[in-house]
Structure formats: structure tokens, C-alpha cells
């Protein structure tokens, strides 16, 4: 983030198209809370940097969980639609600030279609068209790397769990999850704005028996159970954002405020 971008007025969104990022032409969206990098052909976020430059996604070509598997929202498997690094989607910048960025992406001749609206505080996805089942994933690195022992995942029932703990459950409504980075105190939160009764899940994936944080990633999914996707609704809305929080009560207040918007 440049000094000029860091000092921009609150609420302003700065969009730059045609930026190179991890091997693909991308759209960069700079907001007061984060900097987002969106692969245009992959139609997924490859990087999400906080104010200190920590990348909460960390996509890189190759190296499985240490790079190529990472991204948001990674909707369609095995086709790879809406996943950074992919080459089968088309993306248009519909609005380039100043209050928000709007990106629209399509795949499979328009049979799949999504819209992202990135504002000052968060990004909101609407799945417009989906001809088969899909999921919404966060495969990434809280605070820049996944620390299974220190970082936590808190579900909408209010219970915090270490990232070493796997779970499969139907989240309590309203359906949300946040991951807290112990080092920075920041969270990344995810909201599914519908209660469709589908199972959600999380497990840590690491490419090293030594459990090196830099080599691992979260595998969280709305509508995912193992390798089975279950979401079908269109339109369907999801929100993701970064926030500095004091404690769990503050985190819940942030999410509840976002739910009202």
C-alpha cells in the first residue's frame, strides 16, 4: 500500500485494473480496511492484504496448500471456476469507485455468473447463476500464515476453537464464522446471508509434517462436507471482511453491524 493510498479519506475505494499479481492480470481494490487482488480469468481473490501488508489468502502458483489451492471464493470443483489461477472465467469492472467497486464474472458461456461489491469495510458476493451445486470457501492464511495452535475459529454459536480442531456442523443462524490471528488481533469474517440447512465445515491443511505455518492453509466452506458441495440457491449472498477487534464481543458487534447493511 502506498502512502497516498494509506492516507486516503475514509470510505474511498481506489480501483486499478490490469495489475499483474501472481501470474495473472488482476484488479486491485484499495480500501481503508484492506487491499484486494482479484484474478480476472480465475475470477477469485488471490490476495487480501491488511494495513500492515499481511496477506490473508496468499495464493501462489504451485505447491498445493502452500500456494495454488488458496483463494476466495473457489466456488466450483473440479472445474475450477471462480478460483485464482484459473483461466476459464471472464471478468468486467462495472464500477471503479469512489464509494465501491463492482466486478462481474462469468463462466461456461454465462451459465455461471457472480457479482462482487467491494466497499470500504467489506466485500459482498452475489451468486447470480449456478447450474449445479457449489460451495463458498476460504482457503488461506489468517494474518499471513496459519498458526494451528494460536489462531482460532469462532462460529456463530459463540464458541472459539483452535485451528487444529476440525469440525462439520450446520451453523447457527445467522450463519457466520470468523478466524482470529493471535499475532495481529485482527479477524477475517464470513457471512452466509441465508439459512438453507446445509452442512458447513473446516479443517487445517498443511504440506509439511513439521506443521510449518507458512505451508498451511485453512479449508473452510459454507455448503461443504468433505469434497461434496451442497449449495444451490440463486441469488445467494455472502460477505467477507477484515476487522481490527478488541475481543470476541467486539467481533460479534462488527458482524452484527454488517448483517444490517
* Range of weakest confidence among 73-82, 105-114, 213-222: 213-222
**Contact present, 37 and 44 (Cβ < 8 Å):** no
Q: What average pLDDT is seen over the chain?
A: 93
- Reported as a single tens digit per residue, the pLDDT across 222-243 is 999 999 999 999 999 999 999 9
Between the ranges 3-17, 142-156, 199-213, where is the mean pLDDT highest? 142-156
Residue positions counted in the chain: 261
The pLDDT assigned to 1 comes to: 35
pTM of the shown model: 0.93
Average pLDDT over residues 155-163: 95
The pLDDT assigned to 211 comes to: 67
- Reported as a single tens digit per residue, the pLDDT across 161-208 is 999 999 999 999 999 999 999 999 999 999 999 988 899 999 999 876
CATH code (residue 173):
2.70.98.10
**Contact present, 129 and 234 (Cβ < 8 Å):** yes
Domain with 152, as residue range(s), is: 3-259
Confidence of residue 5 (pLDDT cuts 50, 70, 90): very low
Distance CA 35, CA 47 (A): 8
Number of domains the chain is built from: 1
The pLDDT assigned to 206 comes to: 87
Residue 134: φ, ψ to 5°? -145, 175
The pLDDT assigned to 209 comes to: 62
**Contact present, 70 and 59 (Cβ < 8 Å):** yes
Amino acid at each position: 500500500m502506498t502512502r497516498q493510498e494509506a492516507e486516503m479519506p475514509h470510505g474511498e475505494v481506489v480501483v486499478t485494473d490490469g495489475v499483474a499479481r501472481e501470474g495473472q492480470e488482476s484488479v486491485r481494490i484499495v480500501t481503508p480496511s484492506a487491499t484486494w487482488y482479484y484474478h480476472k480469468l480465475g475470477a477469485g481473490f488471490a490476495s487480501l492484504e491488511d494495513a500492515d501488508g499481511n496477506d490473508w489468502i496468499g495464493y501462489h502458483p504451485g505447491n498445493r496448500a502452500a500456494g495454488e489451492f488458496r483463494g476466495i471464493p473457489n466456488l466450483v470443483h473440479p472445474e475450477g471456476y471462480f478460483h485464482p489461477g484459473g483461466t476459464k472465467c471472464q471478468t468486467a469492472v462495472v464500477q471503479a469507485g469512489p464509494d465501491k467497486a463492482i466486478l462481474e464474472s462469468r463462466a461456461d458461456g454465462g451459465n455461471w455468473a457472480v457479482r462482487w461489491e467491494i466497499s470500504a469495510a467489506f466485500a459482498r458476493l452475489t451468486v447470480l447463476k449456478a447450474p449445479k451445486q457449489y460451495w463458498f470457501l476460504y482457503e488461506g492464511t489468517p494474518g499471513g500464515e496459519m498458526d494451528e495452535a494460536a489462531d482460532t475459529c469462532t462460529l456463530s454459536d459463540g464458541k472459539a476453537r483452535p485451528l487444529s480442531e476440525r469440525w462439520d456442523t450446520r451453523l447457527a443462524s445467522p450463519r457466520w464464522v470468523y478466524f482470529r490471528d493471535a499475532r495481529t488481533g485482527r479477524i477475517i469474517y464470513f457471512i452466509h446471508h441465508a439459512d438453507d440447512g446445509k452442512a458447513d465445515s473446516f479443517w487445517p491443511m498443511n504440506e509439511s509434517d513439521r506443521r510449518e505455518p507458512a505451508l498451511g492453509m485453512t479449508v473452510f466452506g459454507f455448503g461443504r462436507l468433505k469434497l461434496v458441495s451442497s449449495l444451490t440457491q440463486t441469488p445467494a449472498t455472502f460477505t467477507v471482511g477484515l476487522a481490527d477487534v478488541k475481543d470476541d464481543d467486539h467481533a460479534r458487534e462488527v458482524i452484527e453491524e454488517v448483517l444490517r447493511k
